[in-house]
A and B are shown apart, each in its own frame.
Chain A
Amino acid sequence: MLTSLPTFDLVLWALTTLAGLFLFVFILTKNLDHDFPLLTLYLGVNLLQTLAQIFVYEFYGFEANVTYAAVWGSQAVVVLARALAACEFCHRVLGHYTGVWALAIRILLSCGAIVLGFTVVLFRDGFQYGVMRMEIASEAFIATIVVGTAIFARYYQAPIKLSAILLGLGLGLNSCLKMLNDALISRYWQNYSGLWNEVGMVAFMAVLVLWIFAMRAAEGVSEQKPELQPTEIYRTFTPQVNRRLAELNDTLMRVFKAGQPKP
């Protein structure tokens, strides 16, 4: 059955599977699964999905209802695993800063939920594109929390390691490209259906390459939690700030009193 697929598709599928397998094995051999447990889980689930797809295509063919349900059902699990990997990225970037994280995670999840809700509500083309709608909504959710985390990190000028940057880039680009790909096929089914698979696989291949570089950057770099500044700095820093703020308040109070209208 699989041999009925175009050779180019088969080659691309083989290449992405090999790249995924390489990344998965690389993470396990370098013990990076302790640092990136959810990304490892996602890659594992992705490989399992490939195995399941091969099995289903071989035994049931491409047109069977079982194939449709199995492939899109497994896709839901894969997207869920990727959403968890995205949350892991958010925590890696902001999780050390307890106060910032407490604010960021609530805002990010709220924004993600709003985007997800809007997509589901606005995209009403019946059951024909129901699966596409759910996928676009999920990808929008993932992309929102990844980009939101990057915005938070930039706003607070929190240092981000190269591995986290590449991981975030990969997650964000993957979701955005999937959204674009799904939107194109939903709108231009007739002209685009032949390209949809190829575009998706090439994009995923590029993302896997980014993640391989990310894992190479993470290799051998121990996790360092940010520490408070030495006591001497606080001793110098705190009186300076307090003095400046006290002066500011005093001046402000004087100005308010002087500026009040006279009776």
Chain B
Amino acid sequence: MSKAFFILVVVFALGLVALLSWIFWPGKKNRRRPDALAVLDSAPQHLCNMGAIRRSQDRADLQYLAQRGGNELAKRLHRERRVVAMMYLDSLRSDFEQLLRIARVVALLSPELSKSHEYERLRLSVLFRLRFQLVRARLLFGDAAMPELVSLGQMVSSLAIRLETAMETLGERAALAANLALQSNQ
């Protein structure tokens, strides 16, 4: 066996043991599932600020500032606005993660409903993470990257719409079950 392959096998095996121990460690149980419905309280909160963020990254606005207040002021504001945009980007990600948490609760509460949604959600979350890193990199290098930022927002919205559909179906089934229960009682 070559040295490289030996190291690969050892690292892989030890990594899996570490992962297994971390996942099944008894101390984790206390932090698990406070309440499935409590997750609703943390529904997306930052998406509504997108308009202000978009306007803050407007090039025309910065040009106007440079003309009226000088280049120094425009540069300083550009830097500060970039920091704000980065913070907003992180908030957008936390919105997305919260929506995913809600979706996971829905998946567990309604097992037979979520078959196709799971695939779609996986695709959406992978795409979101990729785009997120792209936008982050562009912002770090000074590019406003507004189309990508909007695209991220659209993805959050898209997931929200899918969730809404899932919840509607769930609601219909619950109503149907309630009717059946009432009929059987009568």
Interface residues of A (CB under 8 A from B): 96-100, 102-103, 119, 122-123, 125, 129, 132, 136, 140, 143-144, 146-147, 150-151, 153-159, 165, 168-169, 172-173, 176-177, 179-180, 183, 186-187, 226, 228-229, 231, 233-235, 237-242, 244-246, 248-249, 251-252, 254-256, 258-259, 261
Contact = CB atoms under 8 A, between A and B. Distances in A.
A179 B164 contact: no
A177 B17 CA distance: 9
B163 A98 contact: no
B20 A173 contact: yes
A233 B23 contact: no
B178 to A, nearest CB: 5
Nearest to B6: A187
Contact of A103 (B40, B118, B175): B118
B29 to A, nearest CB: 10
Contacts of B114: 97-100
Interface stretch (B65-73, B103-111, B127-135): B103-111
Interface in B7-63: 8-10, 12-14, 16-17, 19-20, 23-24, 32-33, 37, 40, 43-44, 47-48, 50-51, 54-55, 58
Nearest to A180: B13
A231 B109 CA distance: 12
Interface residues of B, number: 64
A181 to B, nearest CB: 10
Given A123-B5, A252-B153, A256-B150, A157 B118 contact: no
Contact of B20 (A169, A179, A237): A169
B36 to A, nearest CB: 8
A159 B29 CA distance: 10
B118 A100 contact: yes
The 3 closest A-B pairs by CB, nearest first: A99-B114, A234-B174, A238-B171
A228 B2 CA distance: 53
A248 B1 contact: no
A99 B115 contact: yes
For B19, B55, B168, which residue has the most chain A Cβ atoms within 10 angstroms? B19
B122 interface: yes
Interface string B88-112: 0000000000000010100111111
30 contacts: A97-B108, A98-B115, A100-B111, A103-B119, A122-B5, A123-B1, A136-B9, A147-B20, A150-B19, A151-B23, A157-B108, A158-B108, A172-B17, A176-B20, A183-B9, A187-B3, A231-B174, A235-B175, A237-B167, A238-B170, A244-B40, A245-B43, A245-B160, A245-B161, A245-B167, A248-B157, A249-B157, A252-B50, A255-B50, A259-B51
Given A140-B12, A256-B50, 15 more contacts: A102-B118, A129-B1, A150-B23, A180-B9, A228-B109, A237-B40, A241-B43, A242-B171, A245-B161, A248-B43, A249-B164, A251-B48, A252-B47, A252-B48, A259-B55
Interface string B144-186: 0000001001001100110110011011011101100100000
Contacts, number: 181
Nearest to B60: A261
Contact of A234 (B3, B10, B13, B170): B170
- Tell me which of B13, B150, B153, B157 has the highest count of chain A C-beta atoms within 10 A of its own C-beta: B13
A151 B19 contact: yes
B107 A168 contact: no
A238 B12 contact: no
